[in-house]
């Protein structure tokens, strides 16, 4: 039974001045324009709308001419596939001419432009991504996407095998969208199709795989979705190895217990990394950034510093040595590796230590050593580290005066 689709007329994002300006520019000459895809889906789901993408019956040259005539900046971001980006008051809007695929190899498609809204919708991936809305707020749903939104179901449009053959990235998008928007059991036909096509993930670029996995890692239903991906043989292809499911699931529960914001690098470390060599493999496989690599490696190092769960003094040392961000990641990772029950008081205390205690800064520097008569050179660092170690051993209690006294004592002992 088809549910009654509500109107989106009056929605803040639809009546925003920049959006209305794009509609007005595209309407010149009798062309039709609608907002399509994620903005419509999110609005109907009650999820915040971020990117607003347009589709139009106007061909790219016409889009560019009309936008320029309206004083809108035009950027040819995907001209071969009919996509231009219009920039209004610094805000970008992708505008794509209606199209049909005429040839595809599973990674790239050759398209031709058209004016058939239903044909354009049927070439998209999932029903929930094929809804569109016109300037008046009327929602158009040629493939039954709204029923799937109401049901919390992620379903391929038409034949799942054909949709995947057109773009193998849809294997991962199927799981990612289920993790973000699905409720209940995953669509059986879609799951069967991705199982048949799973080896196709091997031929996707690492960048595309990484983009999907980052979003999947922090999705609301990431734990059960990742478990399912392993069961059907997709996750081992993605990771080039078997995922460590139990720590991943425990990590997610621990984050919720102690109020940690989900983070893809932290969760990937739990899922796939025990040693630094694992970090190198995952970074390469998913083409992660240097910052993500460093965060994962820092989490591993900090985790080792809190295994087994230390007392308060040693916990403060770990927080000082590793910094608050790495320390929090490390505690979460160490818990994920442990067999402690979620909610155990000691682990919660460790995780919340940065909220109760700010690690101090060591107040001395090399100039202090030289100023007290120390010889410039490598020995300066040696003396400073000795003073710092003494300070840490005394639980950061000695003040700067006491530290200077200790420095004088060490320098005198060297003479």
Question: Mind listing the pLDDT tens digit for each residue in 134-159?
Answer: 999 999 999 999 999 999 999 999 99
Per-residue confidence (pLDDT) for residue 103, from 0 to 100: 56
Per-residue confidence (pLDDT) for residue 100, from 0 to 100: 73
Domains and CATH numbers, the chain: 1-151 (3.30.460.10), 153-238 (1.10.3090.10), 244-359 (no CATH), 366-414 (no CATH)
Report the alpha-carbon distance of residue 305 to residue 317 in Å, rounded: 9
Contact indicator for 126, 136 with CB cutoff of 8 Å: no
Per-residue confidence (pLDDT) for residue 389, from 0 to 100: 96
Per-residue confidence (pLDDT) for residue 30, from 0 to 100: 84
- Mean pLDDT (the chain) is 94
Residue 218 has pLDDT above 60, yes or no: yes
Residue 106 has pLDDT above 70, yes or no: no
Report the predicted TM-score, pTM, of the whole model to 2 decimal places. 0.90
Kindly state the percentage of the chain with pLDDT values over 70: 96
H/E element holding 209? helix 206-217
Mean pLDDT of 317-340: 97
3-state secondary structure of 32: coil
Q: Distance between terminal CA atoms of the chain?
A: 91
Per-residue confidence (pLDDT) for residue 375, from 0 to 100: 85
Per-residue confidence (pLDDT) for residue 255, from 0 to 100: 97
Mean pLDDT of 58-80: 93
> Which ranges in 338-399 belong to alpha helices (H)?
345-351, 353-356, 366-371, 378-393
Residue 86 has pLDDT above 70, yes or no: yes
Per-residue confidence (pLDDT) for residue 101, from 0 to 100: 61
Residue 1 has pLDDT above 60, yes or no: no
Mean pLDDT of 167-195: 97
């Amino acid at each position: 039974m088809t549910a009654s689709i509500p109107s989106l007329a009056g929605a803040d994002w639809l009546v925003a001045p920049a959006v209305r300006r794009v509609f007005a520019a595209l309407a010149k000459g009798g062309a039709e324009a609608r907002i399509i895809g994620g903005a419509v889906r999110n609005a109907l789901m009650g999820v915040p709308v971020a990117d607003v993408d347009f589709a139009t019956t106007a061909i790219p040259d016409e889009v560019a001419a009309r936008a320029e005539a309206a004083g809108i900046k035009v950027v040819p971001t995907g001209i071969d596939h009919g996509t231009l980006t219009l920039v209004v008051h610094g805000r970008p809007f992708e505008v794509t001419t209606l199209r049909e695929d005429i040839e595809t190899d599973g990674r790239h498609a050759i398209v031709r432009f058209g004016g058939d809204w239903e044909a354009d919708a049927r070439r998209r991936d999932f029903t929930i991504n094929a809804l569109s809305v016109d300037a008046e707020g009327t929602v158009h749903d040629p493939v039954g996407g709204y029923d799937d939104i109401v049901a919390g179901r992620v379903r391929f449009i038409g034949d799942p095998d054909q949709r995947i053959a057109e773009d193998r990235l849809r294997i991962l998008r199927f799981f990612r969208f289920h993790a973000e928007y699905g409720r209940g059991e995953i669509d059986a036909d879609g799951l069967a199709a991705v199982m048949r096509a799973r080896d196709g993930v091997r031929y996707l670029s690492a960048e595309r795989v990484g983009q999907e996995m980052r979003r999947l890692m922090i999705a609301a239903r990431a734990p059960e979705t990742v478990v399912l991906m392993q069961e059907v043989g997709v996750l081992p292809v993605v990771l080039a190895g078997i995922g460590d499911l139990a720590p991943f699931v425990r990590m997610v529960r621990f984050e919720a217990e102690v109020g940690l914001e989900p983070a893809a690098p932290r969760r990937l470390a739990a899922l796939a990394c025990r040693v630094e060599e694992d970090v190198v493999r995952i970074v390469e496989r998913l083409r992660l950034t240097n910052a993500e690599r460093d965060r994962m490696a820092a989490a591993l190092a900090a985790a080792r510093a809190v295994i087994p769960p230390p007392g308060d003094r040693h916990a403060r040392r770990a927080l000082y040595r590793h910094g608050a961000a790495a320390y929090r990641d490390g505690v979460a990772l160490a818990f994920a590796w442990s067999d402690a029950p979620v909610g155990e008081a000691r682990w919660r205390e460790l995780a919340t230590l940065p909220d109760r205690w700010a690690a101090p800064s060591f107040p001395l520097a090399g100039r202090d050593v030289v100023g007290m008569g120390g010889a410039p050179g490598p020995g300066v660092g040696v003396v400073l580290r000795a003073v710092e170690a003494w300070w840490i051993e005394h639980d950061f209690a000695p003040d700067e005066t006491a530290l200077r006294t200790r420095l004088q004592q060490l320098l005198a002992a060297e003479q």
